[in-house]
Amino acid sequence: MNFIMRIIVTSIVAFGLSYILSGVHIDTFTTAIVLAIVLAILNAIVKPILIFITFPITIVTLGLFLFVINALIIILADKFIKGFAVDGFWWALLFSFLLSIVTSVLYKEKRDEKD
């Protein structure tokens, strides 16, 4: 149940960000749900591999290279999902940064309500 709630929250935030950011386009809310599922799968499978491969540069940049990895995951999701488009790397970087911040804040509030 927690996974489904995370998917719904992520899709709502992504759909909202597509209205705010002119370089990110999501056609329908169903596409946003598919995007959230694909991002969850890519974050579970591809992201650990990318982190392992780029570990030295991540250490040198004090972890800031993880933002680049997140943007690459967004661009990869763009290639898989029809109805989702990102206009370039910088839009993907901004979208991934804002998506992670807003969803983190929302998940933190949910955890605070449980306590």
- Residue 112: what pLDDT? 65
- Residue 41: what pLDDT? 96
The tokens describing 29, both together, are: 């809310």
- Residue 113: what pLDDT? 66
The amino acid that residue 12 corresponds to is I
- Residue 2: what pLDDT? 86
Read off the pLDDT of residues 45-81 as tens digits, 9 standing for 90 and up.
999 999 999 999 999 999 999 999 999 999 999 999 9
Query: pLDDT at residue 85 above 90?
Result: yes
Query: CA 26, 10, 13 angle in degrees (round to 5)?
Result: 60
Q: Which of 75, 94, 96 is nearest to 86 (CA)?
A: 75
The tokens describing 85, both together, are: 């488009």
- Residue 110: what pLDDT? 65
- Residue 30: what pLDDT? 95
* pTM of structure: 0.88
Secondary structure of residue 2 in the 3-state scheme: helix
Q: Which of 26, 36, 49 is nearest to 5 (CA)?
A: 36
